[in-house]
Amino acid sequence: MQTNNTPDFDRPMLRMGSVAFLAGIVIFMVSTIGFHAGTRDPMDNPAVFAVYAQSDPWIAAHIGQFAGLMLIFAGGFVALHRLLLHSESSVASALAWFGLATAIITASTYAILQAVDGIAQKIATGSWYAIPPSSTAGSEEEKAIAFRVAEGIRWTEIGINSYFRILQGAVAIIFGVAIAKSALLSRWIGAVGIAVGAVGIAAGVVTAYIGFSEPVSNIWAVTLYLWIIILGIFMWRKTTVKIIAR
């Protein structure tokens, strides 16, 4: 057993970080499950583009996803970084800074991803879908060109998404090792973070080679979301209990 050594002036930040983790997950999931259109085969571009073009809440859904993830990174991981700085382990403190820097890079990558997927892709697929089928060679050529433009944006999205997943995995591993090295949160939470990070890096590599895959995306999302929820709950407990178990 160990006394909770969180300074009083850090408690509000930890609580805001906990709320940011939990609220960010809720906002992201609602935006994704409730408003993000999709198809059974995410690599069937004609079917995907038709769904995207007809999705009225497409841009709003991606803004919601962006807001949720920014809460997680700008609020949750910043607070976790601040907590780990109080560790007696110099390794944990150093990793906290490294993790924060990686989180900033990851959030920046996600902003680019959402601009490509949430706005550019919507405009491109909408332009392609709006061109009516015609027997004239000119119209067919115009539609084919519009499709290739949308497809090029789709390939760009896949490339950025691959690096984003790898970076997310790196953030989880770095903070996971920092938590495991410190005595400020239960060490098993750090071990879970390391495992989640390994899954994220693997998911990013798979995406780079084969594109989007529903099974890979689902496994990665579930493991990451559960870990973030666990972090949010235990960070809140850190501010309310006097003694915590290692």
Q: Looking at residues 114-133, what average pLDDT do you find?
A: 94
- Cβ atoms within 10 Å, residue 135: 6
- The reported pLDDT for the residue numbered 141 is 86
Q: Is 5's pLDDT higher than 60?
A: no
Q: Which residue has the tokens 């906990």?
A: 18
Is residue 139 scored above 90 in pLDDT?
no
Q: What is the pLDDT, as a whole number, of residue 241?
A: 58
Statement: residue 227 has pLDDT above 90: yes
**What pLDDT is recorded for position 12?**
86
Q: What pLDDT score was predicted for residue 243?
A: 37
Residue 6 has a pLDDT of: 54
